[in-house]
A and B are shown apart, each in its own frame.
Chain A
Amino acid sequence: LAKTTQPISMDSYEGQEVNITCSHNNIATNDYITWYQQFPSQGPRFIIQGYKTKVTNEVASLFIPADRKSSTLSLPRVSLSDTAVYYCLVGDGGGSYIPTFGRGTSLIVHP
């Protein structure tokens, strides 16, 4: 299982763009990169997933360079409600795939 490394915490202000980078140097060929969001006392929620280049949905964008050893979750114009813990996961959805969570990045958005 590829190990992931991301900042423990980040601070931002309302209206700013936030970029959270995750390192996964040992990513395997079949691995996808998946990001989850977790609010206090709630279960993790899937945000976005990608394999390479760029993926965008209504919530976020995910940038993956050609070597796939890192990825960046981009949250445009954050609001106070984006304050949460963001997790980067790497895995291939194999028969025994287990979403495995690290410490994540605690994002605090200030007024």
Chain B
Amino acid sequence: EPEVTQTPSHQVTQMGQEVILRCVPISNHLYFYWYRQILGQKVEFLVSFYNNEISEKSEIFDDQFSVERPDGSNFTLKIRSTKLEDSAMYFCASSEVRGGRANTEAFFGQGTRLTVV
């Protein structure tokens, strides 16, 4: 079964450092998402990406965040200057496009646990 893969599985970084979280979406999917989940809290939407541009973003996705699809397979989330409160699980997801619309079935990766110290 095809799957979304994320690297690294764990990342520890010092406050103020930049981190890049990597994702390889399922190959024929064209809608990509990033979510985060702070320990004990709900899965929160950060950003969606389609046709090489941001489609939607939440209030959480401020200027310290950016996304990129540097090549035909990777999808990255960059956090420019990490803060303690950025510590969370970050999930990448992808979905097919059908009739120009994102499919309601999204496939999630296993996540990257980011710890900011």
Contacts and interface: CB of A to CB of B under 8 A. Distances in A.
B110 interface: yes
Given A45-B108, A97-B101, A101-B42, 5 more contacts: A32-B104, A95-B102, A96-B55, A99-B106, A104-B42
A87 to B, nearest CB: 8
Contacts of A70: none
Q: Which secondary structure dominates where chain B touches chain A?
A: strand
A14 B104 CA distance: 31
B89 interface: yes
Interface residues of B, number: 28
B65 interface: no
Interface of B: 4, 33, 35, 42-45, 48, 50, 55-56, 89, 91, 93, 98, 100-111, 113
A73 B35 CA distance: 24
Contacts of A43: 4, 91, 93, 108-111
A97 B42 contact: no
A42 interface: yes
Nearest to A45: B108
Contact of A98 (B45, B98, B111, B113): B45
Interface residues of A, number: 26
Interface of A: 32, 34, 38, 41-46, 49, 87, 89, 91-104
Contacts of B56: 96, 98
